[in-house]
Amino acid sequence: RNLISQETFKFHFKNLRYAKGRKDTFLCYEVTRKDCDSPVSLHHGVFKNKDNIHAEICFLYWFHDKVLKVLSPREEFKITWYMSWSPCFECAEQVLRFLATHHNLSLDIFSSRLYNIRDPENQQNLCRLVQEGAQVAAMDLYEFKKCWKKFVDNGGRRFRPWKKLLTNFRYQDSKLQEIL
């Protein structure tokens, strides 16, 4: 299983308004098949930026090369991302192209922080992702707990929210709602 350390999670997923020194993006993912009204988990794991390739693109390469070939185009699948940063303009463009060619896939993106939210191109592509059917949302306490349980080498410890997690969630969520 591909897990991240508790320290890595707390540092990179902390939903600060100004996240200095956090240049890497971590993407925790789950791929499920919609099967008889209850999703069936097929794959889950973690990607991070590698060799100047953003985590979203690493996921798309992996998904195309390893997973897509064995999935039935007649079945529906859901991809859920829990990200330390929302997608940048270029990554959102590639995700949009990917979704446009795979109509049996849906994508939910939960981000701890919004990447470069003052940039109009980033704002535009977040809107385009939603217009194309992706769900884009800020991570709230529920998503942080889910990530901690499924993607963090937590040693059996429960998730302990950091100070201002809910305040920072409300800030990230309000900025995202303004954009959308």
Q: What is the dihedral of CA 82, 33, 53, 168, to 10 degrees?
A: -10
Torsion angles phi and psi, residue 33, rounded to 5: -105, 135
Report in angstroms the alpha-carbon separations of 26 from 14, 40, 47, 71.
12, 24, 6, 25
Contact call for residues 124 and 87 (beta carbons, < 8 A): no
Give the integer Cα–Cα distance in Å for 40 and 180.
Answer: 30
Cβ(19)–Cβ(83) under 8 Å? no
Q: Which residues are marked as active site?
A: 56
Q: How far apart are CA 29 and CA 148, in angstroms?
A: 13
Number of Cβ within a 10 Å radius of residue 150? 17
